Amino acid sequence: MKRALLLAASALLASSCGSSKPAASAADIAPRSTTLFVSGTPDAAESRALRLLPEGATLEFRAAAARSLAGARAATQVALIGTQAVAFARPADRKRLDRQLDRVGLAHVRFRGWTMFSRSAAALELVRHAKRVLASAPWYHEPTGDATYVRRVSTVTITRDRGRIRVERSEHGGVDRDQPLAARIPADAIAAASFRPADLMALPFAAQLQAGLGLRLADVAGAAPGGGVLFARPGTPVPPVTLLGTGGTLASARRIVRSLDPNAPASVPSTLDGVPVADVPLGAADILYGRHGDILAVTLDPGLRLTSAVTPLAPPGLPRRTAAWAYLDVEHGLPGLEALAALAGQSLSPRFVAQVVPFRSVLAYRQAGRLAVSVEPR
């Protein structure tokens, strides 16, 4: 009976093909009350990259629910409107799509150059009689890339580019800057971050960075009020970690030492790449700290170059100007972070480990207007 009613409603709607001016986009048809507008369908690798964003899993779940409500497949655009959903398509063979929709009992109608379909004929009528459309909303962003999720609070876009997958979330605020200290991160770094203090905690992996490096990010920010870099290089038994910050004081460096070991012995004088520093022996490793000009250095790396030139790390996919970024060479950096976390009496989140293992490298960066994750699949 229900199938017969849907077919009857479909026939009734189809009889009114919509003589209005064709719409360039489905957003010119979808009502402004749309709560989620989905365009495209991510593949398995893109879905894994999407879940690296804080809201990624929620978006994936809601998009699947919208497709189910609309009866949509593949790359069809779908609008979730409260508890109802409508799919939009512009097929090369419209009659063939109509026959397919009739076979599965989905209500459908031709409207402004698009075929709209749904499990609910009432949802189609809601769209047809919308007073205001989604494209007129000031927060609306036109879908781009391979898959896009548009909401009032943000727009998330998935794009493949030369073997990498980039997931971006649009947002407001933040200032993009050149980050000169990033040129001091050596090319062999297996994990690294470049930041302004206000943007450090906004990175998707900030909590894991804190756990893996055994450093309180509040202490890191306090030692780099003018911006800084944090990185780890290959080493045994644990990778040596370095913090370089502008504007930091020796007192802020001593706070980091005390947070790592409240019972640390007194420091002794030493040198690092020709720069006088304080050396605090901690058994497994020494912490070296000191100032070179306006740069404060706190490091476990006796081979750190403070005055000598280095070949800088150049993470693939990193824009020239950002507010903050973090990079992980998964093959080498993940075991290194796990070893550092164990040394600090902590452990990395199993969820985080499972999220990054499918990739060769993971780069997260924040720019004014967007938060992005760029990954290289294995």
Tens of each residue's pLDDT in the chain, 378 residues = 444 444 444 444 444 444 467 888 999 999 999 999 999 999 999 999 999 998 999 999 999 999 999 999 766 899 999 999 999 999 999 999 999 999 999 999 999 999 999 999 999 999 999 999 999 988 888 888 899 999 998 899 999 988 899 999 986 555 667 788 999 999 999 999 998 887 777 777 777 777 766 678 888 889 999 899 999 999 988 899 999 999 999 999 999 998 888 888 999 999 999 999 999 998 778 999 999 999 999 999 999 999 998 999 999 989 888 888 999 999 999 999 888 888 778 888 888 899 999 999 999 998 877 889 999 998
Three-state helix/strand/coil letters over 274-324: CEEEEEEECCCCEEEEEEECCEEEEECCCCCCCCCCCCECCCCCCCCCECE
Q: Which residues contact 87 (CB under 8 A, 6 or more apart)?
A: 67, 70, 71, 72, 76, 77, 78, 116, 117, 118
Both tokens of 333, joined, read: 């950096």
Q: At what angle do helices 206-213 and 330-343 cross, to 10 degrees?
A: 60
Token pair of 208, please?
């894991």
